[in-house]
Structures are given as structure tokens and as C-alpha cells.
């Protein structure tokens, strides 16, 4: 089993050992909460937006090793020929490199220059030594090709053999920022954010907030020498990773925020959900996110903290109880996973502090969490999770309206609902968009009430992915889970209420044209 998955097992398995964490009051706003009800209702309370969405709201956690193994053609030094067409649908998306745990051991010097002249290294513990063909140089070119944005996770830990001297790592980070500044001057993308380490608070690392802050400060200082506009992000906790030493997530986060307040006002969080014991329900994970935001606000009341979901994904039930959970890997890429990911994206869109959400993970290997699959001829095609993200991105508008959702719970979902929604408009109020998930195995009818919509008909289209089997996936059949599109006229009555119907087990979007006056 890959070391990355073992780390995740050790951390996520511990979550449910602390009942007090699961039972905390929710600190999220009303728009984020779904009220359990006998009826399904969607209420748009105002035409004034609660926040704006930008292209970087969508992102991908790019684990460089599985990406190189599955989506990079080293013979031609480019991405898989069919990958471009799938990623071009996400202009401005963020690609987090070199990914998660692997970023804690990557020495960037080994990934630049002519590929044929790069050294063979033991980059990860779960593979034999190999050459980095998808290194920093190729990553920057990839970002430019797909019209994306670059995100770099700085190695402040060391290597596969253990920790290195913090000052040495800081100097290497400074050298990297100088190198990347040169590349930017040559026309390649700059770095949107520098993330200071990956999950060093948990698993075998178990760094204290003081140690992490001190080490991160050293790296940030060196990076700033060559990139004066560098912006930094530090990871906060979403579960009690250090409960064994008496530190709660709130205590950890507040200490970290305090010690990094001169360098950092933006934070990262990793949310894995919908599969006990490793992944709690989406609402409980959202509560942890909102708690982390509240902690940052408490420590820095004069600064609006921003937060990024730099990793998020569905975890299958019992995935990490038995570390040998290979038989459950397909559940990380099936329709249920797609619904869970869409659920999280819809909720995140309603939290103004959330700047972006990066799905785990951008690869097409046979391991867990693939966004893509390959047929016997090597042709690349999307999985169910990709299609969920794709239809959301296609229907994204910039202004998020205050949307209250009440829902039945015929699915018996731990989160207490079948339906989650959000409504958006464009800047000119010429379009209206709705994102929705239906976790139930039944078609769902909901009443949509919106101010200023009395006696109004909005023409447009309904796009969705759905199947009668929640385990449906595209592992063996490229066309099993694919978007379906139908024209629709949404008719609001004299009370300003319209009715929508969502297929069973579905992710849906409605893109509608507003009337011209």
C-alpha cells in the first residue's frame, strides 16, 4: 500500500474516536445548512449576492507521481493527447503541485533541466527509484497549455529518509522562488499561492503548531527574497490529529494562526467525507471548516481570513479500517462519489471565505480517486466525478445568491437531507443558474421560490448525471455515466414559485435566461 494512503488511514481513522468532535454545534451560516423537512423547498432570499465566484474556485490536487505515471507522455514530453480537451473546460482552474504527501519529500532541483540528464531518485517509498519526467519545468508548461493557475506546495520537511535541517530547506525554497521568477520572466505562469508544507500536523510527522510555524516562517522569508508578491497558505486542522497530546483542532489552529499572523492570512484545509469511520458526513466536515474560519477570525479580528480546500474527496465506508482496501477503490470514483463531491462544491460556494476547492486527485491510474480512466487502446476518458465537476463548472455564474434549502431525507443520509442547492446570477442579471444534488434513489420534486419572479417563464436547459444504481461508474464503460441535457422552461406562478424535478441519484444544473424588460 502506498505510504500516502497509510498516512490518510492513520489520520482519518482517528476522527471517529473523538465523539465530542462529531457532536459540536454547527458554526456555518444558514445558507450552508440544509434543514430536514417533509417537503423539498429552495428559497432565494435576495438578489444581492453573498459572494462572487472566480475561475480559481475549481481546482485539482495534482499528485505528481500518479500524474506522471498515467497522464504524462514522457516520449513527447507532453500530457496525454486527450487530456487537454477535458481540462480546457476549466479555464483558470488551479493545479496543486507537487500534490500532497509526496511534496514533503520532493527536491525540486531533481525535476528541472533536460529530462534525459535528470537524476534517478527515490522520490517515494512505495516505488523503485525513477526519473522525474513531469518536473517543475513540465508543470509550468502544462499550466500554460491548459490556461490554468499554478499552486506550489513547499517542501519544509525533508526527504524519504526523514527530516532535513529547516534552514537548508528554507534556502532551497528561496532558490526555487528565484528559479520560478526567471521562468515567469520567460513567459511561463507565476505561482498563485505557496502552500507551506502538507499535513505535517498529523500521522507520523505530528509537528506542533509552534514547530510548523517556525519552520514555515523560515521558508516564507527566503521565498519573499525573490518573489516580493508571494502569498502563503498554511494548513489548519479539521479533526483532532493531536488529541493524544491534549490539543484540540481549535487550540491547534489558533496557535498556528497566532504564530504565522505576520506571513499568513489564508489557510488550507483537507476534507474527506461520506464514508465512516474515515469520512464523516458533508455537514460535519463543513462544521469543521467553519470552526477553522472562526478560529482565524478570533485570532485576527481585523483581517478577513480566506480558506482553500486544497484537498477534498469522498472516502468509501470502512475504507481505512482495513488498510488493504483495494476492492473499495472504485467507490472513490463512482456516482456516489460524484454526488458527494458536488455536494461539497455547492456548500463551499455558499461560504464567502472559501476561495477554491481542489478535488483529489488529477490522475488516471488504477489507484483510488481517479478523475480519468483508460480503455485497452490507451484512450483517455472521464470518470463520474469529472462529469459532476464539469457540469457545475459549465453552469457557474459569478454572483452567489442567498439560497435556503429544506429537504426530505428518503436516502437516510447521515447529513439529514437528499437535496442541496445554490442559485447564482451573472453580473448583468441576464442569466440564472442552479446547482443541485439529489442523494435519494427516487426522483425528487422541489419548489423554487425567488424574489421578483412572479408570473415569469425562464427558458433554458437542464443538464444532469444520474443512474438508478448509485454504484454506477465509468471504469469499464466510458459512456455509463455521462451528462444528459434537455431544454426546459421554468415557470414561476403568481406567488413566485416554480417546480423542478431532479432524477434519482443525480447531480443537476439549470442554466436559465432571465426575461428582458
Short-list 224, 223, 219, CA closest to 198: 219
**Least confident residue range of 28-32, 268-272, 289-293, 490-494:** 28-32
Judge contact between 314 and 337, C-beta under 8 A.
yes
Residue 294 lies in a domain: yes
Say what the pLDDT of residue 517 is.
66
Q: Rounded mean pLDDT of the chain?
A: 94
Say what the pLDDT of residue 27 is.
74
If asked whether residues 109 and 152 sit together in one domain, one would say yes
**In this model, does residue 133 exceed pLDDT 70?**
yes
Say what the pLDDT of residue 10 is.
44
> Residue 107: exposed, middle, or buried by beta-carbon count in 10 A (0-12, 13-18, 19+)?
middle
**In this model, does residue 289 exceed pLDDT 60?**
yes
How many domains are contained in the chain? 2
**In this model, does residue 241 exceed pLDDT 50?**
yes
If asked whether residues 215 and 304 sit together in one domain, one would say yes
What share of the chain in percent tops pLDDT 70? 95
For the stretch 154-187, pLDDT in tens is: 999 999 999 999 999 999 999 999 999 999 999 9
For the stretch 380-415, pLDDT in tens is: 999 999 999 999 999 999 999 999 999 999 999 999
Q: Name the domain boundary from 361, 395, 429.
A: 395
Say what the pLDDT of residue 317 is.
86
User: What is the residue-wise DSSP string for 124-154?
Assistant: STTS--EE-SS-HHHHHHHHHHTT-EEEEEE
Say what the pLDDT of residue 26 is.
62
Query: Measured between alpha carbons, how far is residue 50 from residues 31, 38, 298, 304, 399 in Å?
Result: 10, 27, 21, 15, 8
The Cα 49–Cα 266 span in angstroms is 22
If asked whether residues 170 and 88 sit together in one domain, one would say yes
Judge contact between 346 and 437, C-beta under 8 A.
yes
**In this model, does residue 354 exceed pLDDT 90?**
yes
**In this model, does residue 5 exceed pLDDT 60?**
no
CATH number, domain at 232?
A: 3.20.20.80
- Of the CA atoms within 13 Å of residue 237, those in its CB half-sphere come to 29
Range of the domain at 429: 35-50+399-513
For the stretch 79-114, pLDDT in tens is: 999 999 999 999 999 999 999 999 999 999 999 999
Which distant-in-sequence residues (6+ apart) come within 8 Å of 478 by Cβ?
A: 373, 375, 379, 381
* Confidence label for 199 from pLDDT (cuts 50, 70 and 90): very high
Q: Name the domain boundary from 355, 378, 395.
A: 395
* Confidence label for 323 from pLDDT (cuts 50, 70 and 90): confident
Residue 58 lies in a domain: yes
If asked whether residues 125 and 173 sit together in one domain, one would say yes
* Confidence label for 321 from pLDDT (cuts 50, 70 and 90): confident
If asked whether residues 150 and 44 sit together in one domain, one would say no
Say what the pLDDT of residue 291 is.
98
The Cα 123–Cα 120 span in angstroms is 9
For the stretch 441-487, pLDDT in tens is: 999 999 999 988 999 999 999 999 999 999 999 999 999 999 999 99
Judge contact between 507 and 339, C-beta under 8 A.
yes
CATH number, domain at 475?
A: 2.60.40.1180
Q: Name the domain boundary from 395, 416, 437.
A: 395
Kindly provide the residue ranges of all beta strands, DSSP E only, lying in 279-379, ordered along the sequence: 306-314, 354-360, 372-374
CB 365: neighbour CB atoms within 10 A?
19
Q: Which three cell numbers stand for residue 372?
A: 480519468
If asked whether residues 74 and 181 sit together in one domain, one would say yes
Which distant-in-sequence residues (6+ apart) come within 8 Å of 176 by Cβ?
A: 108, 136, 152, 154, 223
If asked whether residues 354 and 241 sit together in one domain, one would say yes
Say what the pLDDT of residue 13 is.
44
If asked whether residues 134 and 270 sit together in one domain, one would say yes
Higher pLDDT, 274 or 323: 274
**In this model, does residue 298 exceed pLDDT 70?**
yes
For the stretch 18-30, pLDDT in tens is: 433 333 456 798 8
Amino acid at each position: 500500500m502506498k505510504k500516502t494512503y497509510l498516512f490518510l488511514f492513520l489520520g482519518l481513522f482517528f476522527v471517529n474516536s473523538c465523539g465530542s468532535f462529531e457532536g459540536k454545534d454547527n458554526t456555518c451560516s444558514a445558507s450552508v445548512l440544509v434543514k430536514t423537512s417533509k417537503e423539498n423547498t429552495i428559497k432565494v432570499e435576495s438578489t444581492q449576492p453573498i459572494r462572487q465566484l472566480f475561475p480559481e474556485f475549481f481546482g485539482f490536487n495534482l499528485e505528481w507521481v500518479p500524474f506522471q505515471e498515467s497522464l504524462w507522455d514522457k516520449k513527447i514530453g507532453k500530457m496525454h493527447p486527450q487530456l487537454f480537451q477535458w481540462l480546457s473546460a476549466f479555464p483558470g482552474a488551479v493545479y496543486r503541485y507537487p500534490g500532497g504527501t509526496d511534496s514533503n519529500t520532493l527536491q525540486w532541483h531533481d525535476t528541472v533541466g533536460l529530462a534525459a540528464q535528470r537524476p534517478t531518485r527515490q522520490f517515494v517509498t512505495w516505488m523503485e527509484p525513477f526519473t522525474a519526467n513531469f518536473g517543475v519545468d513540465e508543470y509550468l508548461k502544462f499550466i500554460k497549455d491548459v490556461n490554468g493557475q499554478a499552486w506550489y506546495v513547499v517542501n519544509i520537511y525533508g526527504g524519504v529518509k526523514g527530516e532535513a535541517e529547516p534552514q537548508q530547506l528554507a534556502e532551497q525554497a528561496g532558490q526555487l522562488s528565484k528559479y520560478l521568477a526567471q521562468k515567469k520572466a520567460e513567459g511561463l505562469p507565476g505561482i498563485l499561492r505557496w502552500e507551506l508544507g502538507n499535513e505535517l500536523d498529523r500521522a507520523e510527522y505530528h509537528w506542533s503548531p509552534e514547530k510548523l510555524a517556525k519552520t514555515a516562517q523560515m521558508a516564507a522569508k527566503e521565498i519573499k527574497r525573490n518573489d516580493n508578491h508571494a502569498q502563503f497558505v498554511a494548513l489548519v486542522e479539521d479533526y483532532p490529529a493531536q488529541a493524544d497530546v491534549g490539543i484540540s483542532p481549535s487550540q491547534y489552529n489558533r496557535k498556528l494562526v497566532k504564530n504565522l499572523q505576520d506571513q499568513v492570512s489564508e489557510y488550507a484545509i483537507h476534507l474527506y467525507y461520506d464514508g465512516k469511520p474515515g469520512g464523516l458526513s458533508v455537514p460535519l466536515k463543513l462544521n469543521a471548516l467553519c470552526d477553522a474560519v472562526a478560529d482565524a477570525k478570533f485570532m485576527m479580528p481585523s483581517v478577513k481570513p480566506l480558506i482553500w480546500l486544497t484537498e477534498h474527496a469522498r472516502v468509501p465506508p470502512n475504507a481505512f479500517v482495513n488498510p488493504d482496501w483495494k476492492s473499495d477503490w472504485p467507490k472513490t470514483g463512482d456516482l456516489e462519489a460524484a454526488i458527494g463531491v458536488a455536494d461539497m462544491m455547492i456548500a463551499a460556494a455558499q461560504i464567502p471565505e472559501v476561495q477554491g476547492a481542489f478535488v483529489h486527485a488529477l490522475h488516471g491510474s488504477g489507484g483510488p480517486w481517479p478523475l480519468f480512466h483508460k480503455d485497452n487502446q490507451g484512450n483517455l476518458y472521464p470518470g463520474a466525478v469529472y462529469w459532476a465537476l464539469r457540469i457545475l463548472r459549465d453552469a457557474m455564474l459569478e454572483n452567489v445568491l442567498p439560497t435556503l434549502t429544506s429537504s426530505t431525507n428518503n436516502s437516510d443520509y447521515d447529513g439529514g437531507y437528499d437535496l442541496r442547492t445554490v442559485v447564482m446570477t451573472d453580473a448583468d442579471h441576464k442569466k440564472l443558474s442552479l446547482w443541485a444534488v439529489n442523494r435519494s434513489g427516487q426522483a425528487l420534486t422541489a419548489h423554487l421560490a425567488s424574489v421578483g419572479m412572479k408570473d415569469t417563464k425562464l427558458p433554458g436547459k437542464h443538464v444532469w448525471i444520474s443512474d438508478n444504481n448509485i454504484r454506477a461508474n465509468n471504469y469499464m464503460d466510458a459512456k455509463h455515466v455521462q451528462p444528459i441535457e434537455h431544454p426546459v422552461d421554468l415557470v414561476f406562478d403568481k406567488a413566485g414559485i416554480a417546480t423542478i424535478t431532479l432524477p434519482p441519484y443525480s447531480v443537476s444544473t439549470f442554466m436559465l435566461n432571465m426575461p428582458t424588460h
